[in-house]
Amino acid sequence: MSKVLWGALIGAAAAVAFYKLNERGAFDCVYDEANRFMDKTRQRARQALEYTQDEIEYLADRAREKAEYYEQIAREKANRVADAIEETGEKVAGKIRQKAGA
């Protein structure tokens, strides 16, 4: 029981001492430092967010450019294949006409 009373007495004394120091402004520097720290943290978080958004936009642009590039290549290859099929069809038709005429 005496330990509980001693603990309560020490706690009350610490609370009174803390209250008196706070009234004198002894903890104002702690408050100011905490505010400065939070301001810097907010600023860095905003900078990180802006950087991330810029990177996302850059990557999206690069993806669009690559998609357009590969789409163009696919279109060119499809045209070459279509031309080759057309030429082959004309050759086959010419051979059929030759055999039909002979």
Number of residues assigned to the chain: 102
Alpha helices in the chain (DSSP H): 2-24, 28-101
User: Whose structure tokens read 């978080």?
Assistant: 45
Residues 43 and 51: their CA atoms lie apart, in Å, by: 12
Residues 70 and 46: their CA atoms lie apart, in Å, by: 36
| Lookup: tokens for 49 | 């967010």
| CB-based contacts of 27, cutoff 8 Å, min separation 6 | 21
Higher pLDDT among residues 96 and 55, named by residue: 55
pLDDT digits (tens, 9 = 90+) for 12-58: 888 888 888 777 877 778 788 889 999 999 999 999 999 999 999 99
In the predicted model, is pLDDT for residue 99 greater than 90?
Answer: no
pLDDT value of position 102? 60
Please compute the mean of the pLDDT values over residues 2-10 and round it to a whole number: 85
On the CB side of 67, CA atoms within 13 Å amount to 6
List the domain boundaries for the chain. Answer: 2-101
In the predicted model, is pLDDT for residue 8 greater than 90?
Answer: no
pLDDT value of position 9? 83
What is the C-alpha radius of gyration for the chain, rounded to an integer number of angstroms?
41
Please compute the mean of the pLDDT values over residues 81-99 and round it to a whole number: 89
Is 21:27 a contact under the CB 8 Å cutoff? Answer: yes
